[in-house]
Amino acid sequence: MTNESMLTVLGRANSSNVQKVMWLLAEIGQPCVRVDMGGQFGGNKEVDYLRKNPNGVVPTLLDMDTVVWESNTILRYLSNRFGAFDLYPADPVHRAWVERWMDWQLSTLGPANTLLFQSIVRTPVSQRSADLIESHRERNAKLFFVLDEVLDGRRYLGGDGLTLADIAIGPLTYRWFELPLERPSYKHLRRWYDLICQRPAFREHVIGIGLS
């Protein structure tokens, strides 16, 4: 396998799961072509796409003949493929620490955050339910406290340097801090968030896309 192939990411730029992949690729300096797919662009329920990703969701990564889907699996694949072991530690204990936050993002924070996001950004103002938004807001507020506590005394989620844990969780944190909602102050989470906001790759692929 060479390192010179062109990677293709299928997925719209305003998907948080696509954003993780684009952020990682920018961090490791790997060029890619991104093709708008899903949401307002469609294409992800068509036979050609379903042949690559039977779930019909984005993102899907194409690396020559290799097709990878599930955003966190794509993050691990790319880190292994390009030897980014600072982002995806080889040491089993450190790796398990990073991976638990990736799994937590996918199983716990992601679904709660998506419900909140959709109840505001993807719902016309006339159809929004204040009670529903409030119940999603409360759930997210609790989950972000979990992160606030774990970040007490840690520069990044995985330790001193950026890891896949930060990349998996960063786009959802952007949404949490940008949605027009009341939030507790979250001292440690805010410090960590300000730190990732300084990274050009995060600014380009997450902040630069905005809420849509």
Ligand X SMILES: N[C@@H](CCC(=O)N[C@@H](CS)C(=O)NCC(=O)O)C(=O)O
Write out the residues near ligand X by the rule CB under 6 A: 15-17, 38-39, 44, 57-59, 70-71, 106
Minimum Å gap between C-beta 10 and ligand X is 10
Reference 79, options 164, 156, 196, 166; nearest CA is: 164
Spatial neighbors of 192 by CB under 8 A, at least 6 apart, are 147, 151, 154, 155, 156, 157, 166
Minimum Å gap between C-beta 95 and ligand X is 19
Nearer of residues 78 and 148 to ligand X, judged by Cβ: 78
Minimum Å gap between C-beta 36 and ligand X is 10
Nearer of residues 80 and 118 to ligand X, judged by Cβ: 118
Pairing of strands 32-35, 7-10: parallel
Nearer of residues 15 and 173 to ligand X, judged by Cβ: 15
Nearer of residues 38 and 89 to ligand X, judged by Cβ: 38
Nearer of residues 36 and 86 to ligand X, judged by Cβ: 36
Minimum Å gap between C-beta 180 and ligand X is 21
Nearer of residues 44 and 119 to ligand X, judged by Cβ: 44
Minimum Å gap between C-beta 4 and ligand X is 26
Comparing every residue's Cβ against ligand X, the nearest one is 38
Spatial neighbors of 210 by CB under 8 A, at least 6 apart, are 14
Minimum Å gap between C-beta 206 and ligand X is 13
Distance CA 51, CA 45 (A): 10
- For the chain, how far is it from start to end, CA to CA, in angstroms? 37
Helix ranges restricted to H, 6-91: 16-27, 47-52, 71-81
**Amino acid identity of 53?**
N
Which helix H or strand E contains 202, and what residues bound it? Answer: helix 200-205
